[in-house]
Amino acid sequence: MQGKHILLGVTGGIAAYKSADLVRRLRERGAEVQVAMTPAAREFVGPITFQALSGRPVRIDLWDSAAEAAMGHIELARWAELVLIAPASADFLARLAGGKADDLLSTLCLATEAPIAVAPAMNRIMWGNAATAANVALLRQRGVHVLGPAEGAQACGEVGEGRMLEPQDLADRLAELLPRDGPLRGRRVLITAGPTRERIDPVRFISNRSSGKMGFAVAQAAREAGAEVVLVSGPVALPTPHGVRRVDVESAQAMLEAVQREIAQANIFISTAAVADYRPASPAEQKIKKTSDRLHLDMERTVDVLATVAARPERPFVVGFAAETESVEQNARGKLLNKNLDMIAANEVGHTKGFDCEDNHLVVLWRNARQDLGSGPKLALARELVRLIAESYTASLTGARHLDTVRA
């Protein structure tokens, strides 16, 4: 965190006293911390405390002409490399979700391009309220990182979910969110992962055995390599890697739409998802009854997400995966050419291989070259793969075309 600019927003909640300690933790790690408080936060902790700990005057009022003359609020929004709101009250979350700019802190959040994280802190019933849940879901969808809350005893005497994370924990998580050094620093990587579900009727679907583990490992590895990572995931039971923005989808169509929303910003697209190739042509509105001995489902093709991205006029660097049960390399090479990809990672799947296991075996193919990454844990393979992607992508920018021509 050495020298990193962190804007700490403190809103009105009893957990504000913990934020004073948080300032110390961040400063210990070398960060520069600028505190901005809402007027309500001042009712809990005085600005002098934050000023003494951060070494900078605290900003509270949008209309403070002396502070604005020193560093205007737009300048301050640009200064921030990361914004953390801790504690984030239910009211502030609602205002952030509503795009309000009626006080200094909400204006800063609207005016910054830095990643925003919130550490909610409130009574457990307020946290469980449908309005708060909807606001938090919307914020997550927009890429806000939601840290916590934790469970435990609350200041109001109740026990439950809603406590702010401890300062040490928050500082650790923040370190994960800061822009990182690495071969993909400053690059945006969009990744799809997991299976999709195609609806048969309101209670049934068709899916596949993909666990999402390989795609989540690739997302973690890309983040470790310094990239800003967006992970579009089908239904899986995996935690989101730290610092990665995740968008959850169900069907192939929803995955396509989510990818289309994000693709213009992506430098690299990695398609690890096991997208359904077919879906029921007309899903039943009501649960299908077992009235006959046989049931025939009429299926139609889904759109190929990867091929759609690769066919864009302004396309990113495109990496596919090939899941094969036979003639692995030959089939993968066919997909590399037919879908017009820059690279493809081939793996054998089925029975005890590839899908839903901890280990994998990957062979990476370019148009004129191949590299066998061997077998191993998915994260180790993902790191190797990301190293190759970064090399190949960089070579493509410097006019060396892709690594295939360099190697060939």
The residues annotated as belonging to the active site are 156
Stretch that binds ligand CTP, among 41-49, 63-71, 238-246, 271-279 (CB under 6 A): 271-279
Sheet holding 32-37, edge to edge: 32-37, 5-10, 82-88, 116-120, 145-146
Query: Under a CB-based contact definition with an 8 Å cutoff, are residues 106 and 94 in contact?
Result: no
Taking the complex as a whole, how short is the minimal distance between the CB of residue 204 and ligand CTP, in angstroms? 20
Closest separation in Å from C-beta 10 to ligand CTP: 43
User: With respect to ligand CTP, which residue has the nearer C-beta, 42 or 361?
Assistant: 361
Please give the C-alpha separations between residue 20 and each of 54, 61, 298, 313, 388, in angstroms, as whole numbers: 9, 19, 62, 50, 43
Cβ closest to ligand CTP, residue 350 vs residue 377: 350
Site membership for ligand CTP, residue 343 (CB under 6 A): no
CA angle 50, 51, 56 (to 5 degrees): 125
Residue 269 sits in the site that holds ligand CTP (CB under 6 A): no
Cis before 316? omega within 30? no
Query: Binding string, 187-226, against ligand CTP, x = CB under 6 A?
Result: -----x----------------------------------
Residue of the chain from 320, 343, 364, 390 that contacts ligand CTP (CB under 6 A): 320
Q: Is residue 322 a contact point for ligand CTP (CB under 6 A)?
A: yes
Q: Which of 335, 378, 383, 402 binds ligand CTP (CB under 6 A)?
A: 335
CB of 404 to ligand CTP, least distance (A): 18
Query: What are the b/e assignments for 27-40, b being 16+ CB within 10 Å?
Result: beeebbbbbbbbeb
- 36, 275, 343, 362: which one binds ligand CTP (CB under 6 A): 275
407 Cβ contact partners less than 8 Å away, ≥ 6 residues apart = 366, 368, 369
**Within its chain, how far is the Cα of 256 from the centroid?**
17
* 271 binds ligand CTP per the rule CB under 6 A: yes
CB 242, CB 162: distance < 8 Å: no
* 127 vs 317, beta carbon nearer ligand CTP: 317
Return the ∠ at Cα 370 (arms to 367 and 375), rounded to 5°: 140
State which residue, 311 or 408, has the beta carbon closest to ligand CTP: 311
Q: Which neighbouring-strand residues pair with 326?
A: none
Nearer to ligand CTP, 109 or 345 (CB): 345
